[in-house]
Copies of this chain bind each other. A is one copy, B any other.
Amino acid sequence: MTPAQTALLDSLAATLGPKGIVTDAERIAPWLVDWRRRFHGAAPALLAPASTAEVSAVVAAAAAHGVPLVPQGGNSSMVGGATPPADGSALILSLRRMTAIRRLDAAANLAVAEAGVILSDLHEAALAAGRRFPLTLGAKGHATVGGLVSTNAGGTQVLRFGSMRGLVAGLEVVLADGSVHDGLAPLKKDNRGYDLTQLLIGAEGTLGIVTAATLRLAPEPATRTTAWAAVRDPAAALALLRRCQAGSDALESFEILPQETLAAVLAYVPGARAPVATTAAWHLLIEHSDPAGAALTERWLGEALADGLIADATIATSAAQAADFWRLRESISDAERALGPASQHDLSVPVDTMPRFMIEAAAACEARFPGCRASGFGHLGDGNVHFHVRAAPGTDPARWYAEEVPVVTRFVDDLVIAAGGSIAAEHGIGQMKRDELERTSSPARLAALRAVKAAMDPLGILNPGKLVTLAPRRAGQ
């Protein structure tokens, strides 16, 4: 521990108490590595404040002593965004003790949740009030409100309700000097200058520490219809998506996956069955909560069959069957991991571009990296492709990750930029994509990001090394 870190802990001992300062290496260890075990950090202490006032005290002290902080919620970042630097220079600032749902107003469709509230707990609290918080994702049992806000999390319901950016009505934030910005009031119109709430959403804890959020709820829908369709290609899928969107405001999910991905899932999940018997190159998982119910889906799918847009389709006849469909979708990551090492890319392109991109990018990767298999699945309605390039059979995993993945990544990212897309759709930048963000961003964008970072965190104490560096990095930095 550095003298500055020791002094910092001493200054906070009375404020945080023994529960709020963890220096036991064994208790810290789980929080030093990301959940995919790709990034390993070090930190001599973990600070766990229990209130906004305590977070404020921590950040003020960190500023005074010049000690960086790495904010952490559920530690489920896909990009190493919550893993501290390896040199032990930073302390972990865990928000997991801030678990209060301060308010839940069903009539106003609003909840005020502290940063440490776990997503599935928020789901349950909303449901108990006859409402729902309409954002969900695989890590819902770990991901916290603070992390969801700070990464502008997405998931499988973005089509209708948007990502976190659309669901946050206000934020409480501790700024880099320890001052508290109270922006929790749910004002639907507020033009008092730059929108600090929007600036903090997706900032990955590099501009301020989110301590609480006012979140929009939605009525729990009376009906939900889930269908599976076999489709020729992504272009036909997009045509069907446009018809569905024209026919209802309540389309909630429109997921696409290739046949080989479905095959991998069926091989991986014990007892799983293909929803439709017809073999097709692509598959769709469609869900809506329109009051018109299954009749609407039947009409959509019937017309699409008649027009040759789809080859086969089925509508789940029970909640259990709908859950089976979703289990296939949610098992993709695990199933693909079982196929061997891969280079995984969370990217987005304009929705209209996505069908062509999925086909052409896969072909380009397979041509450029002989023996590799490339394919994408994802959220067609959001233009969000989870694009995987799998190593050629027999490839040594260590060599693949150390030598090949960076080359594949640059190749894929160049394809994305050429298509007018984003190299970071819903997982953020963290430390994993920081260099690629620098490489692929225009000088104008990069200068603006750096200027904002320097303005809001002039001492560089908030989540150092994540998202953007203040100057071009030198080799080995």
Bound-complex Cα distance A160 to B34 (A): 40
* Chain B hits for A177, CB < 8 A: 447
* Closest-CB distance, A18 to chain B (whole angstroms): 30
Q: Which of A116-124, A187-195, A304-312 contacts B (4 or more CB under 8 A)?
A: A187-195
Taking a contact as CB atoms under 8 Å apart, the answer to whether B444 and A175 are in contact is yes
A233 close to chain B: CB less than 8 A: no
Chain A, interface size category, equals: 35 or more
Which residues of chain B are within 8 angstroms of A348 by Cβ–Cβ distance? Answer: 187-190
Chain A residues touching B, majority SS: loop
Say whether A445 faces chain B, with CB atoms less than 8 Å apart.
yes
A107 CB–B CB distance under 8 Å:
yes
Q: Does A163 contact B (CB under 8 A)?
A: yes
Chain B residues whose CB sits within 8 angstroms of the CB of A186 once the complex forms = 350-351
Tell me if A195 and B452 are in contact (CB < 8 A).
no
A449 to B382, CA, bound (A): 32
User: Within the oligomer, what is the number of copies of this chain?
Assistant: 2
Q: Are B202 and A193 in contact (CB under 8 A)?
A: yes
Q: Out of B192, B201, B443, B451, name the residue touching A456 (CB < 8 Å).
A: B451
Q: A158 in the interface, Cβ–Cβ < 8 Å?
A: yes
Q: Which residues of B contact A453 (CB under 8 A)?
A: 194
**Closest chain B CB from A190 CB (angstroms):** 4
Partner-contacting stretch, out of A21-29, A46-54, A257-265, A422-430: A422-430
Q: Give the distance in Å from the alpha carbon of A352 to the alpha carbon of B194 in the complex.
A: 25
Which residues of chain A from 307 to 349 have a CB within 8 Å of any chain B CB? 348-349
Report which residue of A151, A166, A198, A242 has the largest number of chain B beta carbons within 10 angstroms of its beta carbon: A198
- What 6 additional pairs, Cβ within 8 angstroms, besides A151-B191, A182-B442, A194-B452? A107-B352, A165-B195, A179-B444, A194-B202, A194-B448, A455-B455
